[in-house]
Structure 1
Amino acid sequence: MEEPRIGVYVCNCGTNIAGTVDVAEVSKYAGTLPNVTVARDYVYMCSAPGQDLIKNDIKEHGLNRIVVASCSPRMHEPTFRGVLEEGGLNPYLFEMANIREHCSWVHTHEPKRATEKAKDLVRIAVAKARLLEPLQKIRIDVTQRALIVGGGVSGLRACLDLAERGFEVHVVEKRPTVGGRAALINKLAHVEKKGSDIFKSIIDEAASNPKVNIHTNATLSTLDGYIGNYAVKINRKPRFVNESCNACGECATVCPIEVPNEYEYNLNKRKAIYIPFTHAYPSRYVIDADSCNRCGKCVEACKENAIDLDQEPKELELIFGTIILATGYDPYEPSKDEYSYGLYDNVITLLQLERLLDENGPTKGELTIKGSHPENIVFISCVGSMQEPKSEASADGGEPAEGLEKQAEAEQRVQTNCSRMCCAASIKNMMEIKERNPYSSIYFLYRDIRTYGRGDEQMYKAAGEEFLKFIRYEEPPKISTSSDNLKVEVYDTLVQSTLEIPTDLVVLAVGMTPPKDIEDLQDLVRVSRSADGFFQEAHAKLRPLETATDGIYLTGVAQGPKDIVESVASGSAAAAKASIPLAKGEMELEPTKSFVAFEACDGCAMCIDPCTQEAITLIEYMWKGDVKKTIELNEAKCVGCGVCQATCPKRGIFVRHFTLDQLSAMVETTLSG
């Protein structure tokens, strides 16, 4: 390897660095270090003149290593690597010393100590630079096929956008129909459209696109691989009803089994053979295997011979280039000790109200409770949102029942954050009820009003003009009963008095919680989750739709509460992101991955279990008639974390750009300072 000729460039960053650190002194010190040929300081090294300074010195002084002491590598390391390429050097013959975040910004009142620390960081960077080697990016082929996990409006929007770009797309939906919860919303705010209308417009396009493949009643059974080559097994449960079904309904008429209808949020019952809802896709019946008693009456009634009770599960194996998680949410389910939910028929959730107001709902759009139209209605916001992870309210005004906290935490996570759509959705429904019955009295008990969406604030103001009553609370309201009526007791923090409101109907605006089976999917995709339980994006501002796992993206409520407008928009955004590697047909990966020193590796396998990416496998080979063992590395799955290097007792595996020799040189230089 040629003798290192290192150029060191110390950036002023205006006064961000130079206001605390004596950059001239640091530059002068750098010039005294071994193998440093050029040492300079400049006002802004990332500027065009600063970059030209490096390129000119490479040519004039024959520099073959570059060290820049400036800001965070996260911000400008790609910039300076590009400068090296333009100057004719391998971009990985570069090291960066962060003297802004690590020196000037944290030692603003200690300029002398900050300057000494900057010298130390430059000396350490130079020590590593002497041992740097040229590296080449790793190229991998990308399978031009995408997988969408979840068939709500966000996932379908992403699916359709990818298909329109010419890519084959597969949607995997665990329920018997796609559409998600948006398809069950009565009316959307500000537009004269139902949630099912939005769903139908998207599914009609998707179903007619030859690039789209929709798998309902399906889940992922295995997932392995890396960006460009994710090997996935899709398990499709039988529907027991084939494509010959004409949805005549004779099968449901004769079916003797009735179970709670989850698509109407248990407000009524459905048969064991059923169509989930109007406009469901596929638009044919399906048999609930957990409820069906195999009596065969539906088979006898079906004139199209569409029912086959002997259908078996099927497994489909495919390779995907990119994956989008569109897993949606489950609504928070209050317990009986929360606002008496489940104890009284006239305590319902906001989503149940949506179904009661829907002309295709269980009451054909009539808001009737116990056979009559409610006149006094109380909405309570933030049920399961913006509260501590325990039940705060109790039936009959008493303390929460013993063990309720454990029960609530076991069943789902109470959210401390805002579910974003509840306020606007509540006000929308309040105004619709008021329009239907101008003489009704409607109260909205809220912690905070958060009407942030376009037109939502105007709707909020209009609701006040319609004589809807808004009452702010901090302590959760208490519900009690007297004869056939309910009574809501709440302390109004604005007028500072306790109010008792007799009511015919209580509507709980429940929040969004992660799907109950999200942990099973997380185990497969190996994507982290945030504190609220939803999937975590790589960076909220810089990579808002990407995960830390390359090639896996997020959309809709998979990453946290959103309304329908935001969910559809994020579907298109995720599709745009996922289409980038698909369109290229190949990917370039950073070369800072592990590599195996086969002459030292003895196949002890101590590095395999610690690898979080499952990138290392043990293999056998023949050597001079003997069976030997060593390891094989999947560079595409490796993230260069270095755990393998740390656990290897034989120096048999290293991380490029962070080898033991390079790290040792940095440590020795630190200690010698």
Structure 2
Amino acid sequence: MAKVGVYVCHCGSNIAGVIDVEAVRTFAETLPDVAVARKELFMCSDSGQEMIKQDIRDGLVDKVVVAACTPRTHEPIFRGALSAGGLNKYLFEMANIRDQDSWVHAQNPEGATQKAKRLVASAVGKAAKLRPLEDKYVDVTKAALVIGGGVAGIFSALELAKMGFTTYLVEKEPSIGGVMAMLDKTFPTNDCSACILTPVMVEAGNHPNLELLTYSEVEDVDGYIGNFNVKVRRKQAYVDWAKCTGCGACAEKCPSKVPDEFNMGLSNRRAAYIHFPQAVPKKAVVDMAHCKSCGGRAIGTEPKISEKTGKPILAPCEKACPADAINRTLKWDPAGEIKEIKVGTIVVATGFQVMDKGWFKEMAPDNKNVITALQMERLISATGPTGGKLLRPSDNQKPHTLTFVSCVGSRDEKHHTYCSRVCCMYMIKQARLIKEKYPDLNIYMHFIDVRSPGKDYDEYYTGARRMGINILRGKVGGLEVLPGDNLRVLAYDLDAGSPVEYESDLVILATAMELPPATKKLAQTLGLQFCGSGFFKELHPKLGPVETATEGIFLAGCCQGPKDIPDTVSQAKGAAAAAAVPLCQGRVKIEPTISEVQTEKCSGCGICVPLCPYNAISLKLHAEKPRATIDITQCKGCGVCTAACPSAAIVLHGYEEGQIFAQIAALTA
């Protein structure tokens, strides 16, 4: 006969403020198989755990039920107490009387108390039938993958490489650097963004443990923590990077022009191009989607021979390349080159995009003089389309009045309700830099309110006011296009309590940060979830900010939510540290709450095989007959196979038939 110990937690007033804890404890004493029923102010405290350990040591209990908060965060604590007391840690069940009871029934204490009794009875019913389980372990591949080559990805990859692990850094663009490489300067120190980022990029490119896989994308991922099999697709560059010296001669001679993504469409690049001047790796790419196939032949064909010279007729880029690195004879292959790698852990650092201004019709988005704040970064950058000169896109003339509009798409019920966190500060940074360079400019900034919570941020903001920058609290209702490409700003000044109208030569919109749509495919590949704001969801907002629900996969940077550079670097290093733990240990634990096939009952029908969402089940010969076999490294204990098996041959450990029926019987008694 089982000897079940029941321990009821007050959780301060979280539980005891609604539920009659003593009544629940007294009720637990009357349940079958209960040997001990106790209560404690905080069961997760040292005194609460010691209470459990002592009862185990004294032989009073051999199964444990804790009625407290969520097992999601606290179950490991109590399992540890069982192990420390000398009891198998899986002889434990938790009744969640906080999240599932006191928090949702705060207006009905009597009903909440009755529900708590039922939850405890259910847990006791299952606990009495629990049996010991043992952890299993698998070896770990001591290598890591980082997806995304922005500042978060670079720092995560470097940290892992410095720990001695082989690390692969995958970036879809030809160079690492991400959005930070596009910035002119960074707040609040006004450091040159390229000056502080480029050395880190170069270090990443030169580190012996770090392999850059740029111009590449993750195509497929299967496996499990410690043993992920990854397929990376490298797009065709039509340039032999082993030969390319990054001289840029091909780009100078290429006649094709397309909008430059790095300059946010404010200038053109060539079909043959280098991503940006400080690119790492600094290698050329021929963009076949925009190549004119000049030279008299289609891509993938041999060059024609000149009748006059007897030599091949080459395209301008081929002629210009001094290293003979361009090869246009390669056939177009959308799949590119597939590289297969094996890693133990994965860090996702895919970054963000700024919301397209086209969503905001009231802001005259089609007008060339209405730009996003990221476009402004390129306008004032020395490597930008105007060489750092502030010129209007419509006529390349110096503006006299500038308008900054905050929260365009952020804190907006029509679009994104969250705050993008960095907009206030990077707009203030831009305004300060412009005011320092052009003191005669009139600058207006419109905020719902200024948010400057970081170190030295508020001083940076007050410094902008002292410089004579006009900061108005209130939303901009819209823009009117005037003759000469000027704009009339229609706003409201909350402090003055009156509407504001004035003409502006250039309007800058701080559009919201959001997750790029392309990451949806990656989320499906990796089994990641999205939060209510549309970013990747972490395991726990406070206790697991870099972990995900998929073991072995971690998050870093703005793909998890908007954040500035210091917070991004901090999280990147945190994600690298978390990803390194399994690699350092050399093995990972497989939870024993997995499915197992009772071979003597299995008929070999195969119904379970296609139903398994983790591809963990296959049919193998057993005594010359096909029988289902479950790979414990793949199984996640979801129970789909257990429910579907017509022969009742599959047992889900920790949720066996007798245990479940005991729970149901206790709930309905």
User: In structure 1, what is the Cα distance between the partners aligned to 2:39 and 2:365?
Assistant: 71
* Alpha-carbon shift at residue 93 of structure 1 (Å): 1.2
Which of 405, 408, 411 is matched with 1:380 structurally?
405
User: In structure 1, what is the Cα distance between the partners aligned to 2:646 and 2:148?
Assistant: 44
* Alpha-carbon shift at residue 530 of structure 1 (Å): 1.8
User: In structure 2, what is the Cα distance between the partners aligned to 1:655 and 1:336?
Assistant: 50
Q: What is the SS of the residue equivalent to 2:667?
A: helix
1:434-485 deviations in whole A, cap 9, x for unaligned?
Answer: 1111111111122232222222221221212222112233463222213443
CA 268–609 in structure 1, closer or farther in 2 if over 3 Å, else same: same
Q: Does the CA-based 8 Å contact 2:159-2:573 persist in structure 1?
A: yes
Give the letter aligned to residue 326 of structure 2: I
Q: Does the CA-based 8 Å contact 1:183-1:198 persist in structure 2?
A: no
Aligned to 2:508: 507
User: In structure 2, what is the Cα distance between the partners aligned to 1:562 and 1:481?
Assistant: 37
30-39 vs 435-444, which moves further: 30-39
Q: What is the SS of the residue equivalent to 2:279?
A: coil
User: In structure 1, what is the Cα distance between the partners aligned to 2:272 and 2:141?
Assistant: 39
Give the letter aligned to residue 186 of structure 1: D
Alignment of 1:305-454 (within 5 A): 305-311=324-330, 313-335=336-358, 338=361, 341=364, 343-369=366-392, 370-389=395-414, 414-454=415-455
Q: What is the SS of the residue equivalent to 1:264?
A: coil
Give the letter aligned to residue 258 of structure 2: V
Question: TM-score, with normalisation over the residues of structure 1?
Answer: 0.89
Aligned to 1:670: 667
User: In structure 1, what is the Cα distance between the partners aligned to 2:44 and 2:585?
Assistant: 29
Which of 149, 155, 158 is matched with 2:156 structurally?
158
Q: What is the SS of the residue equivalent to 1:201?
A: helix
CA 434–654 in structure 1, closer or farther in 2 if over 3 Å, else same: same
Give the letter aligned to residue 482 of structure 1: P
Aligned to 2:567: 566
Aligned to 1:259: 258
113-122 vs 151-160, which moves further: 113-122
User: In structure 2, what is the Cα distance between the partners aligned to 1:214 and 1:270?
Assistant: 24
Does residue 177 (structure 1) correspond to residue 200 (structure 2)? The answer is: no
| RMSD of Structure 2 on Structure 1 (CA) | 2.5
Q: Does the CA-based 8 Å contact 2:176-2:214 persist in structure 1?
A: yes
Q: Does the CA-based 8 Å contact 2:364-2:481 persist in structure 1?
A: no
User: In structure 2, what is the Cα distance between the partners aligned to 1:260 and 1:590?
Assistant: 52
Aligned to 2:630: 633
* Alpha-carbon shift at residue 288 of structure 1 (Å): 1.0
Does residue 460 (structure 1) correspond to residue 465 (structure 2)? The answer is: no
* Alpha-carbon shift at residue 87 of structure 1 (Å): 2.5
Q: What is the SS of the residue equivalent to 1:222?
A: strand
* Alpha-carbon shift at residue 18 of structure 1 (Å): 5.7
CA 110–379 in structure 1, closer or farther in 2 if over 3 Å, else same: closer
User: In structure 2, what is the Cα distance between the partners aligned to 1:88 and 1:43?
Assistant: 24
User: In structure 2, what is the Cα distance between the partners aligned to 1:351 and 1:44?
Assistant: 50
CA 621–540 in structure 1, closer or farther in 2 if over 3 Å, else same: same
User: In structure 2, what is the Cα distance between the partners aligned to 1:584 and 1:550?
Assistant: 15
CA 58–270 in structure 1, closer or farther in 2 if over 3 Å, else same: closer
Give the letter aligned to residue 566 of structure 2: V
Q: Does the CA-based 8 Å contact 1:592-1:656 persist in structure 2?
A: yes
User: In structure 1, what is the Cα distance between the partners aligned to 2:382 and 2:14?
Assistant: 63
Aligned to 1:472: 473
Does residue 650 (structure 1) correspond to residue 669 (structure 2)? The answer is: no
Give the letter aligned to residue 397 of structure 2: S
* Alpha-carbon shift at residue 529 of structure 1 (Å): 1.1
User: In structure 1, what is the Cα distance between the partners aligned to 2:25 and 2:359?
Assistant: 70
22-31 vs 240-249, which moves further: 22-31
User: In structure 2, what is the Cα distance between the partners aligned to 1:423 and 1:195?
Assistant: 18
Does residue 301 (structure 1) correspond to residue 316 (structure 2)? The answer is: no
Aligned to 2:621: 621
User: In structure 1, what is the Cα distance between the partners aligned to 2:379 and 2:18?
Assistant: 66
Alignment of 1:521-540 (within 5 A): 521-540=522-541
Aligned to 2:602: 601
CA 27–206 in structure 1, closer or farther in 2 if over 3 Å, else same: same
CA 530–622 in structure 1, closer or farther in 2 if over 3 Å, else same: same
1:356-406 deviations in whole A, cap 9, x for unaligned?
Answer: 1111111111112223211111111222322244xxxxxxxxxxxxxxxxx
541-550 vs 184-193, which moves further: 184-193
Aligned to 2:555: 554
Q: Does the CA-based 8 Å contact 1:243-1:284 persist in structure 2?
A: no
CA 604–254 in structure 1, closer or farther in 2 if over 3 Å, else same: same
* Alpha-carbon shift at residue 101 of structure 1 (Å): 4.9
Q: Does the CA-based 8 Å contact 2:528-2:536 persist in structure 1?
A: yes
Aligned to 2:286: 287
82-91 vs 51-60, which moves further: 51-60
Which of 24, 32, 45 is matched with 1:34 structurally?
32
Q: Does the CA-based 8 Å contact 1:350-1:508 persist in structure 2?
A: yes
CA 282–54 in structure 1, closer or farther in 2 if over 3 Å, else same: closer
User: In structure 2, what is the Cα distance between the partners aligned to 1:337 and 1:50?
Assistant: 56
User: In structure 1, what is the Cα distance between the partners aligned to 2:501 and 2:397?
Assistant: 23
* Alpha-carbon shift at residue 639 of structure 1 (Å): 2.9
Does residue 4 (structure 1) correspond to residue 29 (structure 2)? The answer is: no
418-427 vs 19-28, which moves further: 19-28
User: In structure 1, what is the Cα distance between the partners aligned to 2:103 and 2:181?
Assistant: 51
CA 46–58 in structure 1, closer or farther in 2 if over 3 Å, else same: same
User: In structure 1, what is the Cα distance between the partners aligned to 2:12 and 2:354?
Assistant: 51
CA 119–349 in structure 1, closer or farther in 2 if over 3 Å, else same: closer
CA 478–595 in structure 1, closer or farther in 2 if over 3 Å, else same: same
User: In structure 2, what is the Cα distance between the partners aligned to 1:109 and 1:237?
Assistant: 60
Q: What is the SS of the residue equivalent to 1:335?
A: helix
* Alpha-carbon shift at residue 59 of structure 1 (Å): 3.9
* Alpha-carbon shift at residue 336 of structure 1 (Å): 8.3
* Alpha-carbon shift at residue 96 of structure 1 (Å): 2.7
* Alpha-carbon shift at residue 183 of structure 1 (Å): 0.3
* Alpha-carbon shift at residue 605 of structure 1 (Å): 4.0
Aligned to 1:132: 130
How many percent of aligned residue pairs carry the same amino acid?
A: 40
Give the letter aligned to residue 268 of structure 1: S
Q: Does the CA-based 8 Å contact 1:330-1:516 persist in structure 2?
A: no
CA 91–362 in structure 1, closer or farther in 2 if over 3 Å, else same: same
Q: What is the SS of the residue equivalent to 1:424?
A: helix
Structure 1 runs not aligned, ≥5 long: 390-413
Aligned to 1:393: none
Give the letter aligned to residue 471 of structure 1: L
User: In structure 1, what is the Cα distance between the partners aligned to 2:82 and 2:48?
Assistant: 13
CA 354–93 in structure 1, closer or farther in 2 if over 3 Å, else same: same
1:526-546 deviations in whole A, cap 9, x for unaligned?
Answer: 101123322111111111111
Aligned to 1:273: 272
Give the letter aligned to residue 267 of structure 2: N
CA 498–588 in structure 1, closer or farther in 2 if over 3 Å, else same: same
Q: Does the CA-based 8 Å contact 1:272-1:291 persist in structure 2?
A: yes
User: In structure 2, what is the Cα distance between the partners aligned to 1:203 and 1:113?
Assistant: 60
CA 339–466 in structure 1, closer or farther in 2 if over 3 Å, else same: farther
User: In structure 1, what is the Cα distance between the partners aligned to 2:4 and 2:412?
Assistant: 57
344-353 vs 171-180, which moves further: 344-353
Q: What is the SS of the residue equivalent to 1:382?
A: strand
* Alpha-carbon shift at residue 323 of structure 1 (Å): 0.5
Q: Does the CA-based 8 Å contact 1:258-1:270 persist in structure 2?
A: yes
Aligned to 1:243: 242
Aligned length: 642
Give the letter aligned to residue 175 of structure 2: T
CA 156–110 in structure 1, closer or farther in 2 if over 3 Å, else same: closer
CA 665–300 in structure 1, closer or farther in 2 if over 3 Å, else same: same
Give the letter aligned to residue 424 of structure 2: C
Q: Does the CA-based 8 Å contact 2:597-2:629 persist in structure 1?
A: yes
Q: What is the SS of the residue equivalent to 2:463?
A: helix
Q: Does the CA-based 8 Å contact 2:222-2:229 persist in structure 1?
A: yes
Q: Does the CA-based 8 Å contact 1:480-1:488 persist in structure 2?
A: no
CA 307–341 in structure 1, closer or farther in 2 if over 3 Å, else same: farther
